[in-house]
Structure 1
């Protein structure tokens, strides 16, 4: 099929939808009617639009001449997800018409379309409510529509619901009154029983939306409670209500998300110089949700695990999570909602920008000099730019170093394949290269260009060239020339550095997990802003923003002084020095008085680990670099060390001696931190101290087992969960499951099934067990007792546990048909594939994985299968090539540690 075959015909286009939806929470069904205003672009007697899993009732079209046409035939194509109506007469081009369709369906149970969510009260009673998740292509599951992002229209809504429920839509309700089921003005009770009609119903009418895409339409109905505040627009002076809705057991933990919304909205307005256009902004905190959160215009919806925080004891990590997620979603009110990508090919225009703006620029330091001559600082102490390096750049690099990686701008005409591009490349790589561009042209100029871009496409659609035009207009820089390869080509460069006394020679090549790409896989030449950072003898730091535009070049650098490429890790590339230079840079960066910044430290640590796995640097060099950072007391460098050490340990999961020594090496790394920071938090703790303690204790479970077990024993004796502090909750529960027996496992299961805050991922802590009987119990619980959204957490944890990894693959294969049916509608299926197979590490694994998927319809996750196969191949190569060197280093380290321990013991005996 050509790309146009996947798109709807252009003979007609919608301009307005008038929706009426009746939600019956007793029968878990919905009934709808829609009147769609159409522009007739070409003479036609046929209407084709999207519809899926809907029972279509009466259909008619009213022409400009008030002629009512009833279709002579109508058909539903489940594969193409379309409804086709053939009418008896042609409607002339240039005219308008109104299409009327009635429809009904069950509320879905797959977290897609208009679906049901459930929760239990304290007495164990189950209650239901209904809400939507339409991105990317599930609006068609809720009402017949033109479900493509470029086919924008305005929407009005009427919701008929039980009198004691709350109805929500993108806009504010303009009226609410009782609904007469006998008169049944909208004809949505024709199949209702007498008892159903006798209930008290109401109808809520909502204001019209701006012109918008179907995937950000949203509505919800249920017995929800709310919190409210307001913010005043700095541009219009209007006061806009902000609310958060949740079920009874969660509402008390939702204040913080409301506070974040109120903080960031005004800053976004000032930065983009565009007022938030809707009359309100609500957030629904859902018990069941497929993603973290969704940016529906005026009605953000996200999962409770993403948004809920204990109001008194919420940890700093929890607050940062909520801030990052909500700020990201609010950014979408502009990126995606006001200005929308023309097709999913340009998904990064939504997600890359929201990730950069929402999780880095806005939270930490927003330059708004052109409006107020001041800098607005929201959470500067959280160092979100460094968090961005640790999270987004590393995540993007990990996926983008596979041959099967896709470009940021990826051709994806088939709606069935769209779900698999919601990944680290569309989000994190896009955000990272945009951050690189911002640094290159200057953040203030970058933001001015973004404002130009948004204003040029208000309520419209855009493609890549539109963004480059806006930023070029503001900066005078040929942005397209710099950025084209980062957006249209897969992969990223590694810059290899050799040096003389006064010069460095640099060469760029494509980096892969298996090493330097060769032949046709290494043809791309990137424009690389090298940002060469040097330090003078007096300690002055200078950054030279030179650009590498060819395969290799020479640059003047005094190599006798400390220097580093990719200053502040703003560039989207890795830097490969000689082992000697790596040692020198590591020693300089690990010095607490180093003038280099935290992001420089993160970039170096990430690079050495990646080069070791690719065979470009010894593992001994990588591990010794980690050891140099023992004096560091910043959280994020230790977070990177923890991640990379865990990946190494995971890679040698089936080599007992290497795994044992790597585990011991890690315990030694974190031991001094735990001794120094202890197990008790303090209100005076800095953000770094609070986060570092939590991470260090988790990574040193064995060393701290006595203290952690004491906390858990206190809980089991008294039932007082307050004895388990929130910042150590994960460490204490993991220790209990991993090193306890059935009694401890059952106690933890009771905790995670009734948590004090809505952390779905807590349930996956049960996957830490290494007991065969309890492992089977965990798998049974995952498959039979876990909610769909929680299964993903279980898969991830079981894939990380070396004692359950192979069993997870077996279960996936055995239960494939059930898992496919259960998760195919949303993003889940792609994630399950990655979590089950990505960590395998033998040639046999590669062959068996390839063979298994050859017999499956992988249309919805083919990219993920290719990526898993590439990962398995890279894992296998690393083990084959590096085991001897790594084992030699670890045996030497272990012998030296034993000698050091013996010397310390002897010294202690002499002093006693």
Structure 2
């Protein structure tokens, strides 16, 4: 085991037996095991030689000088374990009109009762961007004792900006076990930063409306009032919001006059409060839980909140049953905000959303929009128990919080919409994207040591696709291995044991382990291999011998990994499999290689990872690949739907990794003329689109355009039919989209384009149109009152092939009056996904990346900077620039893009001729 080594650590290591100090220079003691006896023998021998003695003296002088002084408490980002908050009294008054300085401000005062856990002369409480009203003594705060306790006098106070503290120095130490009261008065700004206590703006009937709202996760509650802003520092909150008549105030708990009931014991990042003139609809009272949907008045009056209201009750009922625990609160308010940085936020009892993830209009919104709404609401309501009632101790375990909610969101959504086969969509939305990201050397383990995550930037960097998607995939795998009833039994015990408390991820494993299990190892031993090392295995099955092997799967097999795995990239792999359509049960691959004679066969096909229950890819010997391809061609229904998607996705990924030939991957698409299911088709389209993107600058691209073998199968999937038809230049498709769009231009009040087809039609009509089509789209976007419609138009406007129009559109993203800050990343990513827009968007991103509000991780990840040799050095330079600027949350994403670009260049060089030949033969 390696650990981070300071000079002090290294010197300590030299005086202990068999302790290693493995961190590289400059503070490494090397990687040799040294006993105290050996060390002193070396010193005695060294003194014989004068020159060596000089080196030793120099070493000790250097070491003494280099040992840094012990850090002061306020120089560390983590709170010391000296104070424990019990409850807060917070009063805030947001101004929804500008002051004489042109600012929107809020004023407030706050008191917090805390118990002294360890003697200290320091009070550290988080504070960021707050201006304090000083006491008559010139201090930022006042301290009093409670229950007869005398408080020490305040000696000095100051704001520690770097670590975001208000620091109070006392004349003497606080007494252990005694309770104290810290009071502050302050002022802050309601900025449009989308974090902390901020403002959202919109126009209704030509009148500008301002909303004061919040986004505290992960570390922005300290922007609203001074608080102990760590998830383990749970407390009760007494909130008071002052607001003008005609506006409404909301918080986590129901309100009486301007004061709210005390909250449950909860973490600061789950606090929320809103002042607005929003309207609401409510459901009939059910089991003493008030359910309301809040939004702009016109949105509510036009019925855009009706669908969300209808499914919220169903979802709450499902999760109460699933967790076997009643909903912990008396109300469930859900609010659609015009400006919101995330998709949604699970504030306890007051969930906030982007308008597109809460509002739905059946006349305008597509089926995909409806799916997004139900899945996102399900995700947030799942958190009301897992995450809110029981909360991670520290952010290094955020993967468990978000991964779990992502997993069960599909269970809840399936309950709300049982006819949609929505659980299958998890393969497309979660598992396949997670496999793609985690197959790169720049990936990282799900879990890390608590001490490895300290700063707000480090915390924010954890909110990525590994955390959400891989977290969900491995939890789904655990549930599949155990069976859902067993998994849930352990989950219920976990919630009961730790309600209103904080946990680490092994606490969940412990509760599951307590259920009687028949496994080859403990839950902890099994799951550690999936959570404490990056990546996943490719399992190779040789049906000629029955031999099974596992190996770390990397898209680029030449990737040099920066650090070894403690488990040497070996997993406990659960393999559910079938033979010629017969379910053969589950087998555990526990080592690098094994033999399972039941898989030995000469004439029957074998399919592993049934139901895609495991987080890994599967490869076979060439004979079995051919048997699977033959089965798909003769009767594809013998293979389960999501495994047909798996065969396609695995084959294309294996070919990119040079494990199987590209022609095998392409051959998996030949049966699609008979496929009627969406999931396999969508899996194929994504992989074919990747091929197209990789080859767009080669002569092979023309062959792909000519070869339209896949189009005929889209009779069953109209959206993909039009999209792929237009992408590959089918003349009838282009004419059709232009005709529909032009009819809309002729009569803007009568849009007859089906909601499911709008995104595709808008994009291709604008792409082949001119200024008039683009200007019309821009006008309709600015006039849109339904968020789902605005989102489709935002995306479509980036489809233009006219460089001047695209450049103008990109410049609009710098002006919040033209494009909302929340939408900048979305527009940039879509602009960068087209052939025409790729270079322009990339240059624009590099030139404007320090404006402070771009979601670079999303942009870079979505940018199809694919296989161009000239892009690679530009990416490396960009990476160095953002690293020096302290944008840690983006560096990881750019590293992935660099790795992906290198791999893509190699792949194109090695495969383009093979692909061209296959396409030519298929077209013949």
Number of the residue aligned with 2:812:
781
> Is 2:821 the partner of 1:771?
no
- Are 1:709 and 2:738 an aligned pair? yes
2:894 corresponds, among 865, 868, 879, to 868
Return closer, same or farther for 1:562/1:166 CA change in 2, 3 Å cut-off. same
2:604 matches 1:561: yes
Q: What's the CA shift string for 1:103-140, capped at 9, x where partnerless?
A: 111102110001110111243x3211111001111111
What is the aligned partner in structure 2 of residue 530 from structure 1? 575
Aligned-pair CA distance for 1:720: 2.9
Pick one of 383, 387, 408 that aligns with 1:332: 383
Separation of aligned partners in 1, 2:660 and 2:901 = 16
Q: Report if the CA contact (8 A) 2:543-2:624 is conserved.
A: no
Deviation (angstroms), 1:590: 5.5
Among residues 290, 302, 305, which one is paired with 2:356 in the alignment?
Answer: 305
Stretches of structure 1 that go unaligned for 5 or more consecutive residues are: 177-203, 233-237, 365-376, 678-688, 900-912
- 2:528 alignment partner in structure 1: 484
Output the CA distance in 2 between the equivalents of 1:423 and 1:45.
39
Task: Check if 1:98 corresponds to 2:136.
Answer: no
2:262 is the alignment partner of 1:208: yes
Q: Is the 8 A contact 2:705 2:728 kept in 1?
A: no
CA RMSD of aligned residues (A): 2.4
Aligned to 1:797: 830
Name the structure 2 match of 1:394: 432
Q: Which secondary structure does the structure 2 equivalent of 1:419 belong to?
A: helix
CA 221–413 in structure 1, closer or farther in 2 if over 3 Å, else same: same
1:590 and 1:632 in contact (8 A); partners too: no
135-144 or 851-860, larger mean C-alpha shift:
851-860
Distance in 1 between the 2:756 and 2:392 partners? Answer: 40
Partner Cα separation in structure 1 for residue 159 and residue 845 of structure 2: 32
Q: Which residue of 1 aligns with 2:555?
A: 513
1:473 aligns with 2:514: yes
Q: Establish whether residue 128 from structure 1 lines up as the match of residue 128 from structure 2.
A: no
Partner of 1:77: 160
1:498 aligns to 2:542 (yes or no): yes
Q: CA deviation at 1:886?
A: 3.1
Q: Deviations over 1:725-755 (max 9, x none)?
A: 2111111111221000000111111122223
1:276-295 equivalence runs, <5 A: 276-295=327-346
Larger mean CA deviation between 265-274 and 855-864 belongs to: 855-864
With over 3 angstroms needed to count, the CA separation of the structure-2 counterparts of 1:392 and 1:49, relative to structure 1, is: same
Query: Would the aligned equivalents of 2:542 and 2:621 in 1 still touch at CA under 8 Å?
Result: yes
Q: Give the TM-score, by structure 1 length.
A: 0.86
Equivalent-residue separation in structure 1 for 2:105 and 2:634 (angstroms): 64
Kindly indicate whether the alpha-carbon contact (under 8 Å) linking 1:231 and 1:262 is maintained by their aligned counterparts in 2: no
Q: Residue 231 of structure 2 contacts residue 268 of structure 2 at CA under 8 Å; is this kept in 1?
A: yes
Distance (whole Å) between structure 2 residues aligned to residue 663 and residue 876 of structure 1? 25
Alignment of 1:217-236 (within 5 A): 217-230=271-284, 232=286
Residue 808 of structure 1 and its aligned partner are, at CA, apart by 1.9
Aligned twin of 1:459:
500
Q: C-alpha deviations, 1:732-783, integer Å up to 9, x for none?
A: 1112210000001111111222235203532122111111222222212223
Distance 1:710 1:551 in 2: 59
What is the CA–CA distance in structure 2 between the aligned matches of 1:874 and 1:835, rounded to whole Å?
Answer: 12
Instruction: Give the 5 Å matches for 1:595-610.
Output: 595-610=638-653
Are residues 1:109 and 2:135 paired? no
Provide the rounded CA distance (Å) in 1 between the counterparts of 2:87 and 2:497. 23
Q: Any conservation in 1 of the 2:656–2:907 contact (CA below 8 Å)? A: no
Q: Tell me if structure 1 keeps the 8 A contact 2:807–2:840.
A: no
Task: Give the whole-Å Cα distance in 2 for the aligned partners of 1:242 and 1:614.
Answer: 50
Pick closer, same or farther for the CA change 1:865–1:44 going to 2, 3 Å. Answer: closer
Contact 1:449 1:471 in 2 (8 A): yes
> Does the aligned pair in 1 maintain the 2:867–2:904 contact within 8 Å?
no
Aligned match of 1:575: 618
Instruction: Give the Cα separation in 2 of the matches to 1:599 and 1:60.
Output: 62
Q: Cα gap change, 1:887/1:454 in structure 2, threshold over 3 Å: closer, same or farther? A: same
What's the counterpart of residue 440 of structure 1?
481
Mapped contact 2:672–2:710 kept (Cα < 8 A): no
Report SS of the residue matched to 2:192: coil
SS in 2 for 1:629: helix
Contact 1:293 1:301 in 2 (8 A): yes
**SS at the partner of 2:433?**
helix
Per-residue Cα deviation, 1:671-692 (whole angstroms, up to 9, x for no partner): 442xx35xxxxxxxxxxx6766
Distance verdict in 2 for CA 1:424–1:475, change over 3 Å: farther
The superposition leaves residues 617-644 of structure 1 with CA deviations (integer Å, 9 ceiling, x where unpaired) of 2222212211222210101111111111
Give the secondary-structure state (helix, strand or coil) at the position aligned to 1:310.
Answer: coil
Aligned to 1:768, what secondary structure does the other structure show?
coil
Q: Is contact 1:13-1:39 (8 Å) kept? A: yes
**What aligned pairs does 1:662-677 form with structure 2 within 5 A after superposition?**
662-665=704-707, 667-673=708-714, 676=715
TM-aligned CA distance change 1:591 to 1:863, over 3 Å:
farther
Contact 2:629 2:667 in 1 (8 A): no
Indicate if the aligned counterparts of 1:697 and 1:728 stay in contact, CA closer than 8 A: no
- CA distance 1:726–1:493, shift in 2 (3 Å): same
Superposed displacement of residue 801, structure 1: 1.1
CA drift of 1:142 comes to 0.9
Partner residue of 1:732 out of 758, 761, 780: 761
- Does structure 1 conserve the Cα–Cα contact (< 8 Å) formed by 2:711 and 2:721? no
CA distance in structure 2 between the aligned counterparts of 1:155 and 1:300, rounded to whole angstroms: 17
**Hey, what does 2:774 align to over in structure 1?**
745
SS of equivalent residue, structure 1 residue 704: helix
Structure 1 residues 625, 895: closer, same or farther in 2, change over 3 A?
closer
1:652 lines up with 2:695 in the alignment:
yes
Query: Structure 1 CA distance, aligned partners of 2:859 and 2:200?
Result: 21
Which of 550, 569, 572 is the matching residue for 2:591? 550
Q: Structure 1: how far apart are the matches of 2:106 and 2:633?
A: 61
Q: Distance in 2 between matches of 1:844 and 1:717?
A: 44
Residue 404 of structure 1 deviates from its aligned partner by: 1.5
Distance change >3 Å, CA 254–CA 858, structure 1 → 2: farther
Matched residues in 2 for 1:858 and 1:740: separation? 42
Q: Displacement of 1:795 after TM fit?
A: 1.6
Could you tell me how far 1:870 is from its partner in structure 2? 4.0
SS of residue matched to 1:305? helix
Map residues 248-287 of structure 1 onto 2, 5 A cutoff: 248-251=297-300, 252-287=303-338
Q: Deviations over 1:591-623 (max 9, x none)?
A: 556332111112111111111222222222212
Partners of 1:316 and 1:691 within 8 A in 2: no
Query: Hey, what does 1:830 align to over in structure 2?
Result: 857
Distance 1:692 1:263, change over 3 A: farther
The alignment partner of 1:102 has SS state of: strand
Tell me, in whole angstroms, the C-alpha distance in 1 between the residues paired with 2:173 and 2:595: 69
The alpha-carbon deviation at position 391 of structure 1 amounts to 1.4
Q: Distance in 2 between matches of 1:113 and 1:846?
A: 37
Q: Secondary structure at the match of 1:83?
A: strand
Number of equivalenced pairs: 823
Give the CA deviation at 1:250.
2.4
Contact 2:443 2:535 in 1 (8 A): yes
Alpha carbons of structure 1 residues 518 and 833: separation in structure 2 relative to 1, 3 Å: closer
- Measure, in 1, the Cα distance between the counterparts of 2:328 and 2:367: 32
Q: CA deviation at 1:306?
A: 1.7
Query: How many angstroms does 1:805 deviate by?
Result: 1.5
- Determine if contact 1:830/1:860 at 8 Å carries over to the other structure: no
3-state secondary structure, aligned to 1:800: coil
Say which of 167, 175, 181 aligns to 2:249.
167
Q: How does 1:322-471 map to 2 (within 5 A)?
A: 322-359=373-410, 361-364=411-414, 377-410=415-448, 411-471=452-512
Summarize the Cα distance change of 1:568–1:465 in structure 2 as closer, same or farther, 3 Å threshold: same
